[in-house]
């Protein structure tokens, strides 16, 4: 019999067991910013993740549309991509500076702006939801409101965006690969990754 077993047997029966719980996080100390290409699941995963942490969920694209009084396709068509990106930067900065910690889903191009990455690094923490081309294309094909994919070959356009953006997304604080599995499985994976990051 080991000494540990002997110690347990020799202890009085009335002695309470000492349980040492692993460290855990019950709240977000800073806003969690989800980055990744269109179709990565930032909005759907973000909503469920916010519920887990008991915080608000915000979608930067929705906030941009509200501020502009136009849909994103309308902004692209009427004002151009440069105007959209400028509004995107301002909205994300405001949400990070003025709101209490929350989960924020951003558009696919938001993290590409150096000043936006800087304010995210300063005010929040970033999490890249990474997905392969087939998973992304399957998801984005279901919707027609993707201005950047209105091309002759949307899948090749998406592949080009991956080549340009993935090296920049790799600067995110946390990386989680998403696959074609039940969404709650991915949410669990993301939640655990965030907890592990905060407990480092």
3-state DSSP assignment of residue 42: helix
Are 105 and 31 within 8 A, CB to CB? no
- CATH 3.40.50.300 holds for 27-198: yes
CB atoms within 10 A of CB 30: 14
Q: How far is residue 179's CA from residue 36's CA, in Å, rounded to a whole number?
A: 14
The rounded distance, in Å, linking the Cα atoms of 150 and 81 is: 14
d(CA 104, CA 88) in angstroms, rounded, equals 13
Question: Residue 172, Cα to own-chain centre: how many angstroms?
Answer: 10
| Whole-number pLDDT of residue 111 | 96
Mean pLDDT split into 10-residue runs, the chain, 200 residues: 41 43 64 94 95 95 91 89 89 93 95 94 96 85 61 81 96 93 93 94
Q: Give the residue among 133, 171, 118, 130 at the shortest CA–CA distance from 36.
A: 130
In this predicted model, what pLDDT tens digit does every residue of 61-78 receive, in sequence order?
Answer: 999 999 989 998 899 889
pLDDT value, residue 95: 95
SS3 122: helix
Contact, 33 vs 91, CB < 8 A? no
């Amino acid at each position: 019999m080991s000494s540990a077993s002997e110690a347990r047997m020799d202890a009085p029966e009335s002695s309470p067991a000492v349980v040492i719980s692993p460290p855990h996080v019950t709240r977000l100390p800073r806003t969690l910013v989800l980055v990744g290409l269109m179709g990565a699941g930032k909005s759907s995963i973000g909503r469920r993740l916010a519920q887990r942490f008991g915080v608000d969920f915000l979608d930067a694209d929705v906030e941009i549309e509200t501020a502009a009084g136009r849909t994103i396709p309308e902004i692209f068509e009427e004002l151009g991509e440069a105007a959209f990106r400028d509004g995107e930067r301002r909205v994300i900065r405001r949400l990070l500076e003025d709101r209490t910690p929350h989960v924020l889903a951003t558009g696919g191009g938001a993290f590409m702006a150096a000043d936006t990455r800087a304010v995210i690094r300063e005010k929040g923490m970033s999490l890249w939801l990474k997905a392969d081309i087939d998973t992304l294309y399957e998801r984005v094909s279901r919707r027609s409101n993707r201005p950047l994919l209105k091309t002759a070959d949307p899948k090749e356009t998406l592949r080009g965006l991956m080549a340009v953006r993935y090296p920049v997304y790799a600067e995110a604080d946390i990386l989680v690969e998403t696959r074609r599995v039940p969404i709650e499985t991915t949410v669990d994976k993301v939640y655990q990754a965030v907890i592990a990051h905060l407990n480092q």
